[in-house]
Structure 1
Amino acid sequence: MRTPPGTRADYAYFQSHTTRWSDNDVYGHLNNVVHYKLFDTTVNEWLIRAGLLDTRASPSIGLVAETGCRYHGEMSYPQRITAGMRVAKLGNSSVRYELALFADDSDTASAEGFFIHVYVDAATHRPCPIPADVRSALEGLVK
């Protein structure tokens, strides 16, 4: 049995996005790659705005190790989309972000997905512990 779509109450952080003309596929709805772009943008923009990621100078970075998405409903241009984000699992060197995309003012997710970031040394790309400041901030997103 398929798990029903989540709601906004299931998520800790929200970020608004607008769709673009080029986001629609030939069937008139958002191409699946757009969902992943919105997930990735939400996670990384949160990290950057929180002062936890400097793409040129951070000593460690989170690399995507696994992703997935379940589609519950169609979205298309022109629509405003709100991405909800939470942390589902926080390990020593990895974090599982769970995200949802809500069309316009809907309380029910049109899509839900996850990203697993593994933290690595920026120079060597070898796994390393999640930095203490990042861990502390991520703990605030656990839901």
Structure 2
Amino acid sequence: MTERWVGIVVSGDKVIAVDAEVAKDGPIVLQADQTFQLQDGEKSDSLNHLFHQISDYLRENKVSRAVIKASAVAKGGGLSHLHSAELRGVVMAAASENCNVSVLQKAQVSKRFGERKADEYISDSDFWDENVDGVKLRIGSREAALMLLSERKLN
């Protein structure tokens, strides 16, 4: 049975979302690869707007699972790291209102595949040709798609 999943990576003031049909095996079939941008202006209004964008998208597309990249310890992370964490929390809340949510650390991805580190998969174009069909996957969205492939190994 195929389910609709979205892989999400939050970075700075943007949310990269890869929407795919995920079957038990074989390539995932991308339906969309997009970026949601935090708007300029009052922070609370911008976060609220993004919350509703994500929530509406997941509900309207009948997404059953969101796989969100967890925060990571950053060397000298500073204020920008905290802003990303705020945005990640908003995304988690919007997703949990509509579907099952998994929060996955990048290190977990490497352990689930077992052969290479996540960054090695991300840079391997042959891997993506074999594991993703559907709409074109942007290179900058590969990490979000890898999260979907990794999560599938548990289900």
TM-score, structure 2 normalization: 0.25
* Richer in helix (by share): 2
* Richer in strand (by share): 1
